[in-house]
Structure 1
Amino acid sequence: MDVKPRLSIEELKRLERNEKNADRARRLRIVILAIEGWTAPAIGMAVGLSRRICQRWVYRYNDLGWEGLDDRRGRKPQSPLTPEQEAAIHLRIESGPNDKDEVCSLRGKDFQRILADEFGLLRSLSAVYHLLHRLGYSYLRPRPRHRKADRAAIEAFRQQWPEKLKAIAAEHPGKRLRVYFQDESRFGQQGTTTNVWAKKGSRPSALRQTEYEYLWVLGAVCPETGHAEGLLSPQLNTKIINIFLQQFSQTIPAEEHGVMVWDGAGFHTSKQLKVPDHVTLVQLPAYSPELNPIENLWHYLKRHFWSNRAYQDYDALEEAAMAAWQRAVLDTELMKTVCAAPYLKRASSD
């Protein structure tokens, strides 16, 4: 099949990789295969469509370009809400329940009532869920937030981060900055549970240990490179932090300067803290775990490795901690994803 040169094959492949709509991604694959010289029957076999449908999408692409791969299913459904009502519902959803709602979390039935009482719209429960999804909402479990968290200070840290990074770079000319996020997590016999596959309608059970042996896992991860350093310890104090800093500093190449971002725990601010020359410490605002992406690593390790299990003693805990670290944390590509820091434009500087 002939394909008009509207976009380069590299650009089409990039669009296919980034496309979230499965149907449109398959249509892009049809065009890409046609450009590569595949016949219509071969493309149909590859993508699971008929020869004629594959030809039709190539013709649409030739006529209209990238936009021709969109669906044409009549008029776009009309919203039951005016733009003003949509804005008001967005505000109502994001404001959360009020005293009149008498619940701690709004569910479908609550929104059904709100639409009727406050907006004069009578909708079935399924229509209410459809509306919520169309407005871009899902029912998600929130991250815990400390009641003393200072939202202004947290936002100021985000805004001031680029300038802070520039100031550190100016103090160390000729060095490439490499930013790490550091934290500690306790892992022990006070177990947790995680999801399992089970029959619909059933309530599966899982082992949860309730004994008292534990150890500390100290870690630091660079979101840009995925490089991580860790230390296991039966206790946590300034002495252990100094050992960790010393070991961490030995991994920093001579042409780089390490920036370690961590919280304000007492052993992070102690006067006995010994900071290596080629490491700069940056303290996060109080009660702001959402700014520290290594928090996601602890959740990942618990969900994938440390839950639904029992450990005989400290040695068993240590073995399990090391096995999980080797399996997951030494995978640099995985760490780039798990510990991504989206609020930072980049986690290093030239």
Structure 2
Amino acid sequence: MDVKDHLPLGELRRLERVEKDADRAKRLRIVILGMEGWTAPAVAMAVGLTRRICQRWVRRYNEEGLAGLEDRRGRDPRLPLTPEQQERVRQRLDAGPTAQDEVCSLRGKDVQRILAQEFQLLRSLAGVYHLLHRLGYSYLRPRPRHRQADPEKQAAFLREWPDRLRAIEAAQPTKRLRIYFQDESRFGQQGTTTNVWATRGSRPTAVRQTEYQYLWVLGVVCPETGHAEGLLSPQLNTKIVNEFLTQFATTIPADEHAVMLWDGAGFHASKQLRVPENVTVVTLPACSPELNPIENLWHYLKSHFWSNRAYDDFDALEEAAVAAWRKAALDADLMKPICAAPNLERATSN
């Protein structure tokens, strides 16, 4: 094959070695073999493609150089819905199932029926899933939301948060603020299950314990730095919270001040509560676990370490809790995304 010398053979070989895209590396190999004098059938046999495809890539290289080896896929097919219909479909999906749907969650078959009945759009089930992905949807498990949550109070808290943060900063002019989120989770023999890989169509089994020993895991995480501290306790009261705060305060650098957000549990509002000088506590709106990202940590620990298992006694629970905390919570790079707080401004004062 006749190959133009847009680049020296040595440079093409170097580009092939460092190329991470397998398809593009194969196209470079075609050009290199052509420059080395290989015939089109020999090149095709060496790279596992047809002779015509190899000749086409060489022709594109001859005409455009390296740019000719880029993918030239056509534009994505147009959606079968107008922009107005797309918005109506999104509103229907976001609103969730109605009483007429008679289901608690809209699955592919339900969406297929809705498209046919409400939008006169007939699609196969595979076509429905393709359309949903094109619209930006995935089938996700929602975060729990308390039915008594007050959206107005939550919005007011988020709206007033910057001013509250500035007031704390003014009271600590020589310190750098760090936001922490605190919460407690009970871990015990009332087990949970989590997803497992299994053969399609099967119904795998997993242990779900129903005994009654448990312990409490107290935790605090800074989403900005990934710094996490924890405490295990067989019980939970203001005395334990005070002990936790005292231990946590010793981990805060001398030039920093911790702003700790937590819920309004009774032991967080007790008159016996003792908050260290280098910590300021802020109470979140009632019934608002979605505003406390450390809730994601409990979900992560349960789904990755504490599910599908049984524990003989308190010592086994304690051992499992410590092992999981060391594996996950002490990994700062892991804590940053798990406990990210996109709704709240990060505290990094000058």
Identity %: 66
Structure-2 separation of matches of 1:61 and 1:168: 60
Q: Deviations over 1:112-171 (max 9, x none)?
A: 222222222222222222111111111222112111111122223223322221111011
Residue correspondence of structure 1 range 1-350 to structure 2 within 5 A:
39-43=14-18, 47=22, 49-52=25-28, 71-350=71-350
Structure-1 separation of matches of 2:72 and 2:161: 45
Distance 1:74 1:313, change over 3 A: closer
Distance 1:235 1:104, change over 3 A: same
Structure 1 gap ranges (5+)? 4-33
Structure 2 gap ranges (5+)? 32-56
Distance 1:251 1:106, change over 3 A: same
Structure-1 separation of matches of 2:158 and 2:254: 29
Task: Give the alignment's TM-score, normalised by structure 2.
Answer: 0.82
8 Å Cα contact 2:144-2:290 kept in structure 1: no
Q: Deviations over 1:270-313 (max 9, x none)?
A: 11111111110011111111111111111111112112222121
Partner SS state of residue 188, structure 2: strand
Structure-2 separation of matches of 1:100 and 1:243: 53
8 Å Cα contact 2:185-2:218 kept in structure 1: yes
Q: Which amino acid aligns with 2:17?
A: A
Structure-2 separation of matches of 1:275 and 1:61: 68
Partner SS state of residue 226, structure 1: coil
Distance 1:53 1:290, change over 3 A: farther
Structure-2 separation of matches of 1:270 and 1:136: 46
Q: Which amino acid aligns with 2:298?
A: W
Q: Which amino acid aligns with 1:272?
A: Q
8 Å Cα contact 2:226-2:331 kept in structure 1: yes
8 Å Cα contact 1:44-1:51 kept in structure 2: no
Deviation at 1:53, TM superposition (A): 7.4
Distance 1:212 1:116, change over 3 A: same
Q: What's the Cα RMSD here?
A: 2.7
Structure-2 separation of matches of 1:213 and 1:119: 54
Distance 1:313 1:284, change over 3 A: same
Structure-2 separation of matches of 1:295 and 1:61: 53
Task: Give the alignment's TM-score, normalised by structure 1.
Answer: 0.82
Aligned length: 314
